[in-house]
Structure 1
Amino acid sequence: MKKFVYIVTDRNRTSLHAGMSADLIKTLAFYKQMPSLFFDSGQQLTRLVYFEEFKTEAQALSRFKLISRFTRMQKERLVRSCNPDWVDLTIGLDFEHIMSNKVINTQVQMPLGIMS
């Protein structure tokens, strides 16, 4: 099973958070749906700016522990090394799968009389 180590940030890049997950898409959905319980709306961690994929949990945990100890400057350098424009990488993650599920769900929910 795949494991991911990632860095998310808010729209102003004021906070950088490193995390580890077995289901990156589900984890990111949680961040986006999470109410402003811990952060104000400007600081919600909704932008995936860096991630690595690992084959084992031990590898991911080792890398996560390392990145978690990074200073902010080291995390910024890591992000810039592969994502210099700080683009939200969520858009490219499993995009085709997400879109095909939306199409299937839309077709299933449409009444038969409306479909042409």
Structure 2
Amino acid sequence: MASEPDPERLRALENRLAKLRGKPKPERSATAKVFSQGEVAWRMVIELATGIVLGTAIGYGLDVLFGTLPLLLVIFSLVGFAAGVRTMLGTARQMAEKPAPQGDGTSEGG
């Protein structure tokens, strides 16, 4: 058994490490995920529907509480619709600010 390391094996290891160090690591972050158009569309639909449903539920609950059945239901449904549209526009603005994804040679669909 030799106590000294093999110089050829050390050189080979150093060369392999140098090759690995030379490669840049791909940068990934949670905010850098690229969403497909379908995912963005569903997100916007869900945001709009959630605004309408929450507004309608709040209006109905207040109507039952105060006994003014159609009035607050209509008002809060419209407010929920406006909030959903505003949220959708914010999402569209956020998606427009992101840089366009680089083509990777694959295409969606046929």
| TM range, smaller chain | under 0.3
Of structures 1 and 2, the one scoring higher in RCO (CA 8 A, sep 6+) is 1
TM-score computed with the length of structure 2 as normaliser: 0.26
Larger proportion of helix: 2
Larger Rg: 2
